[in-house]
Structure 1
Amino acid sequence: MSEERAADPLAYRVVLPIRDTTSAEVFDQSRAVLGNWLSSKGYPWSPASGLSSVGDGTTLSFASTYRDDGTQQGMRAQLTEVEPEQGRTWRTTVTAARPEHSTAGGIRAWVAVELECLLEPGRPWPRTNPPRLIRELVERLPVDDAGIAVDAQPLRVGPRQVAELVDVLCEPDRALPVLVAVQPSQSSQSSQPSQSSRSSQPEHEQWERELGRLARRVCGVAMVYHLSPEAAAALNRELTFHGVGPGSVRTFLTGVDPASAADSGRHRVMSFQRLRQDPGPAYRILTLNGHTPALRRPLPRTLGADAFPEIDPAEWSRLRGAEESARKTVSLDADAGATLSAELRTTSLALTGAVRQLERLESELRHERLRAQELEVQYQQADGRADDEVADHDHTTRQLSFAEQRVRELQRRLSAAEAAEEAWRSIELDDDPLSIEAFLDLLGGLPYVEFSGRRDDALELDDHMKASTWAAKAWRAARALNDYAHRRVEESYDRNFREFCLTPPQGVYTVSANQVALRESDSVASHAKMRAQRELPVPASVNPTKKIFMGAHLKLDHKGTVSPRLHFHDDTGGATGKIWIGYLGPHLTTTLSN
């Protein structure tokens, strides 16, 4: 058992956002599922608050909280099962709560299930299975992730549903991983030798059984889609760099960039051969692909301090009442005898001290839990950035390898054509800018691109560690815009910039088409404050008001709180024949960040 595993007893965590139902229905269904689960384990169940023994070495605590208007705010049940012979204690916690205020995502309530294993020193970490009640909760409640229905079973996808699946994979607000599994084709089955232990069952039936088992194990933390070979072929045409082969399973994390070869490295593929030859470990890895992000994701505050204060207000009232009663008793019995009076006074002082200590500890605990939540968020952001950097590094390494091979082949051909001197002649190469300031200075060398924005906004980006990366991306984007504008002005190119990047002419700079947005959403464009932020400076020759709405923008990053954007106006068909960059800086306000 690793030190990390020993230090963290959390084995499973499932957090379910509930939208299309009432909070009362969420609490009713959660109590019903909890009761069914406890009964299946042979434990009695009563929704009365308090701590009770329900078996040998097993306790159940249950608590409900209510608002001032009498409506339920939250409920929490915790089953603790002690296994002394194995030196471990299992603790399963089920929490349901509704937000104090309405949320931007329309979430009516949250339900969470956590399984912890507390081990004695030196004990090995046991193999764990997700509690069965998770599946029943998902089946009973309308769980969804950014408007995508979350199901307990694999969702079948045919060719007609592929467009919807692409929307699911590319949904920017999706939080859960998506496991896309493609049914084995006849050829892939026949090309593999049979295993005698499984030869009695047709290959596709065995595969579907394993897929159903996988869906049960990742229920609530990932979504599983089952594609026919025909649907897979249609998907692979849509996602050139993110294909899934027959019999394989691909784990799509969040932030899918379908136009980026570099991004494809983040979304790992489990091959049919691996699944067939070593199914146990292979499916465990796929299960971890679903559960690992869920363990790292912090609990919504709604499920913690908002619904369940660290010490219940009623308990504080009882303690303070006992303290006051003790003081009065000491006062009334002051003449009853020196010994009794001294004992009562000592008891009163001890109780007062205990209350003060509890108050201090409760304050410290609240502070530490808030700090822990902050650290969890920071860890998740850092972990996401690390995944992106690994994928970018893999892509850069592949691109470098391809470029080196291409150069060697061209040199070989030139040498064979008796142009060896030309093949090995040194040439001067341009370096990418290492800062945003250097990028702005370089822009003056591009004849078809001008910067008309506030320089100070752009220079804010130089305060961040990724400034050199953003500067290089901005420089590539500017050169792509310059090549595009040149084609538009000089060669009558009649497509927009995104199409230019999707199907580029030979010898031009481009960026991933997924970085390009030619318009803002209607909710942003129609919002007075957000629209005003995008009314950006241009010369009077572009617009007499010297400002113009720039909805078109390039995404220089899609992770983190800064997520820089480059907003531009295409005037290649206007008086100046140029691209005007009106803003470079941190992501402007949207409906999600407002």
Structure 2
Amino acid sequence: MPPNSNRLYQAVLRDKTAPISLRLRRTFGDWLVTKGLPAPEQGRPSQEFEADGVRARMDRKVDCGRYVLEETGGRGPLRTQVTYAESVAGMTGWVVVRVEGDGESHDGHAPDFVQAYLRTARITDGAVHLTDTADAVDEDGVHRLVHLLAERDRRVPVIVVSADPQDPQGVRARAEHLAGAVAGAGVVVRLADLRAQDRFNGTMGSELGVFGAGIRTYVAPFDPAAECYPYRHRPMGGPMLRRQGGQALELVAGGAIGETARRPLPDDLQRAYQVVSRILAGKAQPGDIAAAVAPRPAPAGSAREELRRRMMAMTVRPGPVAATAVPVEEPAVAAGAAGAAAGPEDAAAATEPEDAGTGRPASEVAELAQAVAAVVVKELRGELDAALDLTVSSAGNGTDNREILRQMRTLGARVDGLRDLIAVRPGRDRPPAGPEGGNGRTAGEIDRLRAEHEILQQEYAEAVAGARKLQERVHWLEARLAEAGQPAFGLSADRPAFEPTSLMDALNMARETLAHVEIGDTDTEAAKLDLAYPTLARVWASKTWDALRALDAFARARSSGEFAGGFFDWCRSAARLTIPAGMVAMSESRTVNTNGKYSMRRTFAVPLEVHPSGKVLMEAHIKIRKGGCPAPRIHFHDDSGGSTGKIWIGHVGDHLPNPHTN
């Protein structure tokens, strides 16, 4: 595969039914036949086939093997790799399916053989039964669906398709299409009717339901009683599904597949996977798989092993917390009865000691530590691995250390951002329920409007992304015209190819490439937006990058004497690198300036040569998003005409407090 290939699909399939090899070879072989290749022969340890740009290799050694299919053509290269191992002591059989491609010309759908393989036995992700069809859930089955969503060891997302009495056949068709597309990497459930839908929404709560012929993807892990950010579980409304049809379904399927494609393999499977690779390369024996997955006793007196054990213990997610929103099959013992039955020793044990560092109950501190560890492991494991791999590989090949520093800076900012996000208690920013209660008509209308708002955000993000791709295409065509001696109006020969995917990407690249812009300590604020609003992060990052480039171009021109006005004047001029002047505000309101509570939040550090106090009130700001909540802002101080000749950035993050937001 080319160096810019991306993982488009990944499925982790746990299979207790032996033997795996016969069923997997048959279904994979049938798939090869549809590609124009011959059916594989039984009994041969290694086989290769090639025809019309399609090449396949199948290797097997005793109880493990690997199949690889490589395709080339008009849509670019595509590589499907299937690795498997039969059951060993302490571990069931497993199959890992990965698809890699260029990420632009291919859709990340499940390979066709996966659906057929899932039908050969009861196959799971380790906790959830994986099928290639959508399961219809009626009113009586809602409690099982809720328990499925809250399953602690679930790895795959669950897509719930709501009912539509006006188009039941359309709902069924959409659900089956999604089930086939995400087979192995997700589960699709269809609510059978409005009664099932109402019970499901009543159980899940007002912010976590699905309605109006819409679809919602519930990612893992999920605890409805402790969910702080409901829109982490992405909804898509019925109007968008009806309007965009198959394109909307592709977005749903792609989002679900993306959740599993970037997840690391479970620890036991990762060790076994590495051993299989060595076995197939002739560097290990089949029996080494069992040794790799067997628990290893820690050597006595090993401080490093003890530290590792404690750290791993912190990353174990706590068991599901019972919540009023989740029905339980057995009645819980009332707190009063439990207290009455407790003896003196139990009563003494019930008085929890406080943690010396925080003054909080020890159990609360322990739970918080576990929650932080779980979030860090879930959200940052892939980036940590990438950074470590980059560090190791760069040791001998001269890789630019700036890339490593970017990775480390981003990781640090995201850890800080996650810490701040976890500190926000559920419901802290939600308005109190009205007199009609959570199930009243007013609350229901608010929920619907909130869901529609999220859908509009998604549509806006897609529209902006499409517009930027078209813009890049225009610049590419202009460059080709220039090479042919026919320069086009607005040609940007020096336009960088960089396209940020997060605010941290934009800030890191600005620090490295923009000589007339200096960015202060604002990484945590930017990372919080990246983490809390992944749908809009790419849009905001693109606007931020454009704004930072415009500030840099302005400061360069003004410090050299080529331009005499301010940044607002620059954006109103015919200069090439600008942003819409409507995004720029050079001052704050009088209330903000005269109220110390607000003005202090807009005062940021600068060098002494900029101001003798080492800090300055940064009224000037750029509105990355003009309205709504959140409304990201860039606050800056213009010293382009001063001693440094630079723009100093104090804040890139959410809207700072003012009388309206307070």
TM-score, structure 2 length as denominator?
0.42
TM-score, structure 1 length as denominator?
0.46
* Rg larger for: 1
